[in-house]
Amino acid sequence: MKRLLALLAVAAFSSLAPAAEPLNKVCPISGKPANAAITSNYSKTVAVCCDRCKSQFNATPKAYLSNILSANGVQCPLSKKKVDASKTVTYSRQVAFADAASKATFDAAPDKHIKEVRQ
């Protein structure tokens, strides 16, 4: 019984734990320590060619960030084959900044600055 309860506790924990990455500790704009209270949500959705590319992306989204940023909507950013518009992937993460000015700089050109988020 004790063992079963432990297994249930693990299952409950893993279903509640968010898959999101932890907040970055360094502001990508100023290079100063980031304030967890000053954040932006970055999200970009692009089309891929098939479910295989989709699961490949979803396994390690960060590894494909530069592919996502250079996606042109014609070629799959993973395989370079023609995209299927019904198959999409989304890169999303929350970014923390040192101050409001840094957040404003990021928000003005998120695609340019998302690459500067180190962790």
- Residue 53 binding Zn ion, by CB under 5 A: yes
Q: What tokens does 99 get?
A: 């101050």
- Closest distance of CB 87 from Zn ion, Å: 8
Residue 25, CA atoms < 13 Å, CB-side half-sphere: 1
- Residue 46 binding Zn ion, by CB under 5 A: no
Beta strands in 48-106 (DSSP E): 88-97
What per-residue string of b and e applies to 66-87 under the rule 16 or more CB within 10 Å gives b? ebbeebeeebbbbeeeebeeeb
Q: How many residues bind Zn ion (CB under 5 A)?
A: 4
Our CB check for Zn ion shows the closer of 21 and 84 to be 84
In the three-class reduction of DSSP (H, G, I as helix; E, B as strand; rest coil), residue 118 is classed as coil
- Residue 89 binding Zn ion, by CB under 5 A: no
Single out the residue of 23, 50, 65, 69 in contact with Zn ion (rule: CB under 5 A).
50
- Residue 56 binding Zn ion, by CB under 5 A: no
- Residue 49 binding Zn ion, by CB under 5 A: yes
Q: What tokens does 35 get?
A: 């304030």
Our CB check for Zn ion shows the closer of 6 and 63 to be 63
Q: What tokens does 79 get?
A: 């395989």
Per CB under 5 A, residues contacting Zn ion are 49-50, 53, 79
